[in-house]
Amino acid sequence: MGSLLWTVIDDVLSLRLFGSGLLWMAKMCVFSQGWAHSHAGLKKTANHEQDTLNEEFSVKSQNDTDFWNRPRCGVPDYPTIKQLSTTYYNGKKRTGGLSRQQRRKRYALFGGRWEKTDLTYKIIRFPWQMSEDKVRSVFQEAFGVWGAVTPLRFREVTSEKADIIIDFNRYWHGDSLPFDGPGGILAHAYFPQTHREGEVHFDYDEQWTVGNNVGTDLLQVAAHEFGHVLGLQHSLEPDAVMCPFYSDTYPLQLSEDDKRGIQYLYGPPRHTPPVITETNEIESELPSACRTNFDAVSMIRGELFFFKSQYVWRIRDGQLQAGYPALSSRHWKGIPDHIDAAYDDKSGNIWFFEGDNYWVFDAERKITGPDSVRRLGLPVSDIQAALKWEEDHTEKVYLFKSGYYWPFNVQENRIEDIHPRSTHEWTGMPSHIDGAFLDRYGYANFLSGLHYWKFDPVALKVLEGYPRSIGMDFFGCSASLSK
Share of the chain above pLDDT 70, in %: 71
Lowest-confidence pick of 16-25, 59-68, 407-416? 16-25
- Identify which has the larger pLDDT, 238 or 18: 238
Higher confidence at residue 19 or residue 237? 237
Per mean pLDDT, which range of 108-117, 156-165, 220-229 is the poorest?
108-117
pLDDT value of residue 155: 93
Which of the pair, 135 or 37, is modelled with greater confidence? 135
92 HSE (CA, 13 A, CB side): 6
Exposed/middle/buried for residue 363 (C-beta within 10 Å: 0-12, 13-18, 19+): buried
> Average pLDDT in the 368-376 region?
90
Q: Do the beta carbons of residue 323 and residue 310 sit within 8 Å?
A: no
Q: Is the pLDDT of residue 326 over 50?
A: yes
248 in a known ligand binding site: no
Predicted confidence at residue 222, as pLDDT, reads 93
Q: How many CB atoms lie within 10 A of CB 111?
A: 14
Confirm or deny that 180 is annotated as ligand binding. yes
- Sign of the alpha-carbon dihedral angle for 355, 360, 366, 368: negative
Q: Which domains does the chain have, with CATH numbers?
A: 1-275 (3.40.390.10), 289-475 (2.110.10.10)
The reported pLDDT for the residue numbered 313 is: 93
Residue 224 annotated as binding site: yes
Query: Which positions ≥6 away from 416 have C-beta within 8 Å?
Result: 406, 407, 408, 409
* Residue 185 burial (C-beta neighbours within 10 Å; 0-12, 13-18, 19+): buried
Percentage of residues of the chain with pLDDT beyond 90? 31
Which pLDDT band, with edges at 50, 70 and 90, does 304 fall under?
Answer: very high
pLDDT attached to residue 89: 22
Give the whole-angstrom CA distance, residue 329 versus residue 79.
Answer: 46
Contacts of 464 (CB under 8 A, 6+ apart): none
| pLDDT score recorded for residue 65 | 47
Q: Which residues pair with 166 in a beta bridge?
A: 123, 200
Give the pLDDT band of residue 302 (cuts 50, 70, 90): confident
What pLDDT sits at residue 69? 46
The pLDDT of residue 449 is 93
Q: Residue type at 349? A: N
Give the residue, 39 or 109, on which the prediction is more confident: 109
pLDDT at 213: 66
Q: What amino acid occupies position 85?
A: S
Task: Name the average pLDDT for the chain.
Answer: 74
Query: Does the annotation flag 393 for ligand binding?
Result: no
**Rg value, the chain, Cα:** 25
Please tell me the distance from the alpha carbon of residue 462 to that of residue 454, in angstroms, as a whole number.
6
d(CA 255, CA 239): 7
Q: Is 285 annotated as ligand-binding? A: no
Predicted confidence at residue 457, as pLDDT, reads: 83
pLDDT at 223: 93
Is there a contact between 202 and 187 (Cβ–Cβ < 8 Å)?
yes
Is 37 assigned a ligand-binding role in the annotation? no
Which residue did the predictor score with more confidence, 71 or 390? 390
Question: Quick one: average pLDDT of 371-388?
Answer: 92
The residues annotated as belonging to the active site are: 225
Q: pLDDT value at position 285?
A: 61
> What kind and span of H or E run contains 404?
strand 404-409
Q: pLDDT (tens digit, 9 = 90+) per residue, 422-453?
A: 988 888 888 889 999 999 888 999 999 999 99
More confident residue, 181 or 114: 114
* pLDDT tens string 266-300: 999 876 444 444 444 444 467 789 989 999 999 98
For residue 78, CA distances in Å to 23, 108, 146, 234 come to: 11, 9, 22, 9
Rounded to whole angstroms, how far apart are CA atoms 238 and 91? 16
77 is in an annotated binding site: no
Top-ranked range on mean pLDDT: pick from 84-93, 217-226, 247-256:
217-226
Which of the two residues, 139 and 81, has the higher pLDDT score?
Answer: 139
Angle at 34 between CA 173 and CA 244, to 5 degrees: 65
Model pLDDT, residue 243: 83
CA dist., res. 406 & res. 428, Å (int) = 19
- Asked if residue 223 belongs to a known ligand binding site, the reply is no
pLDDT at 229 over 70: yes
Residues 136-152: what's their mean pLDDT?
Answer: 90
Q: Does position 462 have pLDDT exceeding 70, yes or no? A: yes
Peptide bond into 430 cis (omega under 30): no
Q: Which amino acid is at 380?
A: V
Per-residue HEC secondary structure of 40-104 comes to CCCECCHHHHHHCCCHHHHHHHCCCHHHHHCCEECCCCCCCHHHHCCCCCCCCCCCCCCCHHHHH
401/10: higher pLDDT: 401
